[in-house]
């Protein structure tokens, strides 16, 4: 009989909650966040370890990146080749990493955001510093090895990194519900900070900052909020303001130019192009008239962006304008989050170094425990060989008299002489007294005859003395924490001497950029809007010269000032603002800009009923009429607001606006329903309300009837509507009262 199925009943929400938590923790711990001990994410750790295993050392030839990526993916990281290659590329880029870990050969991208060549074209190998500081001692049981994803290989749980990589190279990663963002720091300063902590474990953040001044970005730049760094390094969170470095150069003709030689770290990549576009925009929008030309002359030698200025330009003021209006001054958000003891934790600079130092003591303990065990094994064998040299004649007699290896070994270890032929009884008695260890006996049996030469015996004695010194040294290191600390600090000082470099980023307190903006010259302009809702701006002389063409080609022409704003009223009751300055200004035949590109107006979801300038609306009354026959008048001044989108009127459910129009003098309104019922009323019958009001009823509608049109008739104007083949002149309709039923036509 088949075993009955076991059904487990549980809440669906509980399963979803547990599954999501499992997924989130997997992303946090196994993908997105670095480990505080080695400062590496799993993909980085696995890539470096795989290169180590493949033997792609700093002193060996380069190997194809595709080989490295494929091997890493097949053995340790089954998450797609792109993530592995991207990690490899970033670890080789000296403009992203304070200390590049991989030596790339070929096109590994540029500071301007160009991507690396495909992995089949590029080659890579480890840097010397990576080999010495990140991967050394892996053979000395210093870290735990865990099974890989399919349990066919072993990989290190963490790399035995001997420098605080989390601070030196920084980290960026987005997990689930959290993200990490740690700036890179100066190698030499961080080493000094670690040594200072080891000498004084009670060191505080302020004292630590005497050694680690602040971030040291590979792109240089200037940190301008030095006073905020203490709070950032205490809490692990905050914002660092970084500026590019600008030099003012004199050129022929008495002119000057700005040369940007260093950029803020957040600007690397596509943001350099965005910065250039922002400078173009400053010129196009007339925010500055001082810029004549801008060119990006950057190369492998470094950043060089040249901004040529007109004669007599105020270079200092323009610098401040660039800091204020472009990404030449940018913010680096700090969130020093890393996995510590298996869980994510936000840490200040001292706790990060504390974790690192504790890890160094653990590495040193395991390393010297392994080395001590090996030296003790060597001591045992060496003592056996030395003892064997003293009785070598007896051992040779035992070997010649034994039938097999087992018999000889038993005699050497336990003194059993049965079955062995000796030359004399004394030899047999002496053999019975032998008590070598198993390891010693094996070494004696494997010893070659040339080892009996006098010089070889002396070398054996010298090795034994060296082994005894090593045992004493390793025992002292393991038994005395102070001695271990000295060993670690000595290594760190050697690394600093070999790999430290000068600081690139300046740390300072700089006053906020203040721009003396010249008031914009106000001029009268004409805004030409065509039937496709494209708008462009021309000055009045240009309009007057092309008046006929403008009137023929434009759906609407609005006259206002160049500093004014346009209000777009839609059938959804919204009002969107457009700055006139955001529309292209220039020649009559220049191309316009779609209004929905420079505002929140969405032509696919709403219809534009009225476009008018805010200045022209001031002092007027605007009438609103809806499909459900709700009417109101609003003062035009109410629409002079700062928000880009605001509710121009309140609508009932399933209602929409049919008309928005400024009122003049003795205007009348004619409402037409779907059942061809008309009602003409005087505009003075409509009460004035706030823009947030619904309004009042204009015409009583039958069930399922609604308004299809609302006409605003100016004095002396007429409009004709065709109903059932008959033309109805609207200005001949009788003027009735508001909230009546109207006349059927």
Known active-site residue 464:
no
* DSSP designation for 225: B
Q: Quick one: CA dihedral 200, 206, 209, 211, positive or negative?
A: negative
Nearest to 307 by CA among 329, 330, 328, 331: 328
Could you give the C-alpha distances from 319 to 184, 323, 647, in angstroms and in order?
27, 6, 40
Task: Return the closest-CA partner of residue 271 out of 94, 116, 113, 90.
Answer: 113
Strands 222-223 and 506-507: parallel
CA distances, 200 to each of 156, 280, 350, 354 (Å): 31, 53, 11, 11
CA distance 30 to 229: 30
Beta bridge partners of 610: 569
Radius of gyration of the chain (CA): 42
- Dihedral angle at the C-alpha atoms of 683, 689, 693, 698, nearest 10 degrees? -20
Q: What are the DSSP calls for 157-180, one per residue?
A: SS----S-HHHHT-EEEE-SS-EE
Is the torsion defined by CA of 366, 369, 370, 371 positive or negative?
A: positive
Element containing residue 347 per DSSP (H, E): none
Task: Return left, alpha or beta for 276; rule: phi > 0 is left, psi -120 to 50 is alpha, else beta.
Answer: alpha
The three-state secondary structure class of 285 is coil
The catalytic position among 20, 121, 197, 534 is 121
Half-sphere exposure (CA, 13 Å, Cβ side) for 426?
Answer: 1
Count Cα neighbours of 175 within 13 Å in the Cβ-side half-sphere. Answer: 29
Q: Which positions are annotated as active-site residues? A: 121
């Amino acid at each position: 009989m088949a075993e009955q199925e076991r059904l487990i009943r549980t809440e669906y929400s509980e399963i979803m909650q547990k599954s999501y938590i499992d997924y989130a923790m997997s992303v946090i711990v196994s993908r997105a966040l670095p480990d505080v001990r080695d400062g590496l994410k799993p993909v980085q750790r696995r890539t470096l370890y795989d290169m180590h295993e493949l033997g792609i050392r700093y002193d060996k030839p380069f190997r194809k990146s595709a080989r490295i990526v494929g091997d890493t993916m097949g053995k340790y990281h089954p998450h797609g080749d792109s993530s592995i290659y991207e990690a490899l590329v970033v670890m080789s880029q000296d403009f992203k990493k304070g200390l590049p870990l991989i030596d790339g050969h070929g096109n590994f991208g540029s500071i301007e955001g160009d991507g690396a060549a495909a992995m089949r074209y590029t080659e890579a190998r480890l840097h010397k510093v990576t080999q010495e500081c990140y991967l050394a001692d892996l053979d000395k049981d210093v870290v735990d090895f865990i099974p890989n994803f399919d349990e066919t290989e072993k990989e290190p749980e963490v790399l035995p990194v001997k420098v605080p990589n989390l601070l030196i190279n920084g980290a960026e990663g987005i997990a689930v519900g959290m993200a990490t963002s740690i700036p890179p720091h100066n190698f030499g300063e961080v080493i000094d900070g670690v040594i200072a902590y080891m000498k004084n474990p009670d060191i505080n953040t302020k004292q630590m900052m005497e050694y680690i001044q602040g971030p040291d970005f590979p792109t240089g730049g200037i940190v301008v909020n030095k006073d905020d760094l203490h709070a950032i390094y205490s809490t692990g969170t905050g914002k660092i303001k970084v500026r590019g470095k600008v030099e003012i150069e004199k050129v022929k003709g008495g002119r000057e130019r700005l040369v940007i030689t260093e950029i803020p770290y957040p600007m690397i990549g596509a943001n350099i192009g965005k910065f250039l576009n922002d400078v173009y925009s400053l010129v196009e929008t007339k925010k500055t008239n001082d810029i004549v030309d801008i060119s990006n002359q950057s190369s492998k030698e470094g950043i060089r962006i040249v901004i040529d200025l007109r004669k007599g330009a105020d270079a200092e003021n323009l610098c401040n304008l660039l800091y204020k209006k472009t990404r030449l001054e940018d913010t680096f958000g700090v969130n020093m989050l890393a996995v510590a003891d298996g869980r994510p934790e936000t840490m200040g600079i001292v706790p990060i170094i504390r974790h690192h130092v504790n890890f160094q003591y653990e590495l040193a303990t395991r390393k010297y425990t392994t080395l001590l065990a090996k030296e003790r094994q060597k001591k045992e064998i060496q003592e056996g060989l030395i003892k064997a040299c003293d009785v070598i004649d007896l051992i040779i007699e035992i070997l010649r008299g034994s039938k097999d290896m087992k018999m000889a070994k038993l005699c050497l270890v336990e003194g059993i002489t049965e079955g062995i032929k000796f030359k004399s009884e004394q030899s047999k008695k002496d053999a019975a007294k032998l008590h070598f260890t198993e390891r010693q006996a094996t070494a004696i049996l494997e010893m070659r005859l040339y080892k009996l030469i006098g010089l070889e015996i002396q070398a054996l004695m010298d090795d034994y003395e060296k082994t005894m010194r090593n045992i004493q040294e390793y025992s002292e290191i393991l038994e005395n924490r102070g001695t271990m600390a000295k060993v670690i600090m000595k290594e760190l000082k050697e690394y600093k001497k070999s790999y430290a470099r000068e600081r690139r980023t300046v740390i300072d307190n700089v006053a906020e950029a203040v721009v003396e903006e010249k008031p914009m010259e106000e001029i009268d302009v004409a805004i030409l809007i065509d039937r496709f809702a494209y708008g462009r701006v021309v000055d009045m002389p240009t309009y007057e010269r092309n008046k006929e063409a403008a009137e023929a080609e434009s759906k609407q022409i609005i006259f206002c000032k160049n500093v004014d704003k346009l209000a777009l009223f839609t059938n959804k009751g919204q009002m969107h603002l457009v700055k006139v300055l955001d529309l292209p200004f220039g020649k009559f035949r220049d191309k316009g800009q779609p209004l929905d590109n420079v505002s929140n107006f969405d032509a696919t979801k709403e219809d534009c009923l009225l476009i008018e300038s805010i200045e022209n609306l001031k002092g007027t009354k605007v009438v609103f009429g809806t499909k459900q026959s709700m009417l109101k008048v609003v003062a035009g001044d109410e629409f002079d607001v700062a928000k880009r989108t605001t509710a121009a009127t309140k609508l009932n459910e399933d209602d929409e606006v049919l008309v928005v129009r400024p009122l003049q003098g003795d205007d009348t309104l004619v409402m037409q329903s779907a059942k061809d019922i008309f009602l003409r009323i005087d505009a003075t019958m409509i009460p004035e309300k706030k823009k947030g009001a619904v309004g009042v009823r204009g015409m009583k509608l039958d069930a399922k009837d609604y308004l299809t049109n609302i006409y605003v008739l100016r004095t002396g104007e007429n409009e004709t509507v065709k109903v059932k083949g008959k033309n109805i002149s609207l200005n001949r309709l009788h003027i009735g009262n508001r909230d009546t039923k109207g006349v059927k036509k």
